[in-house]
Every structure is written in C-alpha cells, then in structure tokens.
Amino acid sequence: MIPERTLDGIKRYVEDRIPPGGFLTAVLENNLKESFARADDENLVTIFELVSYIYNRIPFICWGSPETVDKWLKREE
C-alpha cells in the first residue's frame, strides 16, 4: 500500500544517504505531528504501514530522531 515513490525515497536515503523530502524526514525523525502535517493524501492513509516498514526493514542506526537522521546523512554513524 505504500506509494512506490515513498519506498524509492527510503531506498535512496538508506543506500545513498540522499535527504528525503519533508514528509519522509518527519517520519524518519519520529515526529508524528509533522508527519501528519506534511503527508499528502496518498501517504496519509499509509502512515501506519510506512512506520511498520521502517521499523522492520531498515537499520535502526538511520532513523528514530532528528539527531540520528542528521548523523546518518552526515555519515557519522
């Protein structure tokens, strides 16, 4: 159910450390308020699935807080 473009953004973020857009950054930073505020209609209905995907499929070292996301993008893990 997760939009392909959103999955592509996650893949680029994890594999190539390319900064994602505002919505995906908010999700990766674990910022619930901003996630809902920035979601488009397509992503809004799949936030639960998206968070589940992130939790279960990408390394914990690259998500969970603004500091963690910043370190990942700066290659400071």
pTM to 2 decimal places: 0.94
Give the mean pLDDT of 37-42: 97
Q: Which domain covers residue 39, as residue numbers?
A: 4-73
Which token pair is 39?
């979601």
Give the mean pLDDT of 9-22: 97
Instruction: State the total domains in the chain.
Output: 1
Contacts of residue 77, Cβ cutoff 8 Å, sequence gap at least 6 = 61, 62, 71
pLDDT classification of 60: cutoffs 50, 70, 90? very high
